[in-house]
Amino acid sequence: MKTSPRTLTIHDPDHRISLLSGPIDYQRILPAHCDSESENCHVHLTRASRIGCGHHANVYRVTLADYPFSVVAKVAVPRQAARDFLEHEAKVYAELPAALYSDLVIPRFLGYYISRNDVEASPILLLEECGEPIDPAVLSDDNKTQILNLFHRLHEAGYLQKSPFRKNILVASDSEQRFRIIDLGRAEKVAAGAPEIAEEMREVKKLLRVRQAQSVTQPDQS
């Protein structure tokens, strides 16, 4: 499986990221090295393919040849602060341990790309598509435990998510309910045992409508 294209050719007919009329060339900045990569992928960004938007970014569903999962392109809105968030998020994805990807805690990270022929065009973060925002009202206790464990895993890896909102916890709509934490644009490093960890857990429990006393089942360490 190819995991990270080295370069991208972006087709942007609706001028979502650039005023150029032709294709825009991008090169991967992160991860700097990876074991498995493809040379170049063509990515189409159109108004119709936008599946999400936040305060800093627009998110597009993209099709990459040879990839067994759906992929999204996250693109900063035209503000420097938004680009800074996107770059920070890419660095966090690049630093997080491989186990958080293989255990499906966070989306698979294909890469962070900058344009070679249009400095005005936003950088692009390519991630695995992870579904829809959760609805806390319909979650079972087991679902809530799974989500709390995702945050536990992120904290164990030394990071706070820092925006634990419903829109940042996605559930895949396939037969198996798979939850994933997204949006690490505000994520911060945290020392083990720091009070901010318990504080973030309290926020997640509040969001999930979990009684504060309810315990989180620890992941199986065996």
Ligand X SMILES: Nc1ncnc2c1ncn2[C@@H]1O[C@H](COP(=O)(O)OP(=O)(O)OP(=O)(O)O)[C@@H](O)[C@H]1O
Q: How far is the CB of 105 from ligand X (least distance, A)?
A: 13
Nearest-10 Cα torsion for 216, 219, 220, 222: -130
Q: Tell me whether residue 74 is annotated as binding.
A: yes
Write the DSSP string, 128-185: E---EE--GGG--HHHHHHHHHHHHHHHHTTEE-S---GGGEEE--SSS--EEE---T
Verify binding: residue 185, ligand X, rule CB under 6 A.
Answer: yes
Work out which of 56, 83, 108, 205 binds ligand X, going by CB under 6 A.
56
Residue in the block written with tokens 């099709």:
63
Q: How far is the CB of 148 from ligand X (least distance, A)?
A: 20
Q: Footprint of ligand X on residues 76-135 (CB under 6 A)?
A: 85, 107, 127, 129-130, 133
Residues 125-184 that bind ligand X (CB under 6 A): 127, 129-130, 133, 163, 167-168, 170, 182-183
Give SS3 for 2.
coil
**Contacting residues toward ligand X, per CB under 6 A:** 51-57, 59, 72, 74, 85, 107, 127, 129-130, 133, 163, 167-168, 170, 182-183, 185
